[in-house]
Structure 1
């Protein structure tokens, strides 16, 4: 089946003063809508990982899956939540692709290129990269890693996505940054201003 997409929006957005970064508008369009416009495809399931009242996302018609681990330990918990939801609801799916909910300019071919990169190298997972940086939350993950991931979070205190990825064979899909880094994230007011500037220049 088509690889499901899990949008990670479970963070507290402390550097933005709280709230949902995925609902912030860039160029007048909410980031979540921009992500869906780029990556949603017919027959591709999309799941939103977010905590709190799911009603604030009702307009998007997406399943909203909270972290299954208390205290919101970071994006690894969101990746795990996505794996668990897909295993329970889409048992034919072997993998998920995750993206951060604060990235308004993701490449439209992200899923396909991650799948191709992993297949070409025989790796376990695939991650995106641009401008010499690896973006571990933009990645292809086997659903079968869920138990090992949960153990790493609960029993070992692992919090960094890169540290978890490093335990496995990793393929990298490298993306160009022209005219903008496709993994530019709205993580703070400066990031939002940069995203607004590009959206304005792109029309």
Structure 2
């Protein structure tokens, strides 16, 4: 399989941080987003950013900025679809998504997702961490997605589907389970307190 393209999902509204672009908040010497880019870029064949509004605010990054093709902030699946449409134009088979507010996700995210998707004709894998008795905790903004299913996803969004796992389960999606050591690698920054914690973890 060809190396996937990477898409960073930054389309949320960051209401708990007072609005604006969470990814542009400072963290250490960079921003939340710069840490995500530094982790994902070496693992993929190319990188784009999914964000709505004026793309110029991300101009300094030198990345393609993909807006949702579905209006009204319908959640991460709209960003996944925007990424799949972009990847189709690049001749890619798959994309891997990562959230713009999760600066410590695993440095082996992509190889482990690819390993979990081996032998799937349409590889569809979500990252997960060990959970409780009910099973693993899935992280729906971190996944491997096949370009071949983009029209199916477009139709599902048009029908009102919003929950990532409902769509991935429909297509036999798998999980790649990542260990949790001193902290959850998929810890994401939602509040000012989370940002302070991220500074400490950095």
Same fold (TM over 0.5): yes
Please point out which of 136, 142, 145 is paired with 2:146. 142
Number of aligned positions between the proteins: 196
SS of alignment partner, residue 151 of structure 1: helix
Residue 40 of structure 1 deviates from its aligned partner by 0.7
Residue 196 of structure 1 deviates from its aligned partner by 2.2
C-alpha distance in structure 2 between counterparts of 1:43 and 1:171, whole Å: 20
Maintained 8 Å contact 2:41/2:47: yes
Query: What are the within-5 Å matches in structure 2 for residues 24-103 of structure 1?
Result: 24-41=25-42, 44-88=45-89, 90-91=90-91, 93-103=92-102
- The 3 A distance-change label for structure 1 pair 43 and 138 is closer
Q: Which segments of structure 1 move beyond 3 Å, counting only runs of 4 or more?
A: 120-124
Give the match for residue 108 of structure 1. Answer: 107
Question: What's the CA shift string for 1:28-61, capped at 9, x where partnerless?
Answer: 4211111121121287210100011111111110
SS of alignment partner, residue 108 of structure 1: coil
Maintained 8 Å contact 2:113/2:143: yes
Give unmatched runs, 5+ long, in structure 2: 132-136
Query: What are the within-5 Å matches in structure 2 for residues 4-43 of structure 1?
Result: 4-41=5-42
Give unmatched runs, 5+ long, in structure 1: none
> What is the CA RMSD across the aligned residues, in angstroms?
1.7
C-alpha distance in structure 2 between counterparts of 1:74 and 1:123, whole Å: 22
C-alpha distance in structure 1 between counterparts of 2:146 and 2:120, whole Å: 15
Residue 4 of structure 1 deviates from its aligned partner by 0.2
Q: Does residue 189 of structure 2 align to residue 186 of structure 1?
A: yes
What is the TM-score normalised by the length of structure 2?
A: 0.90
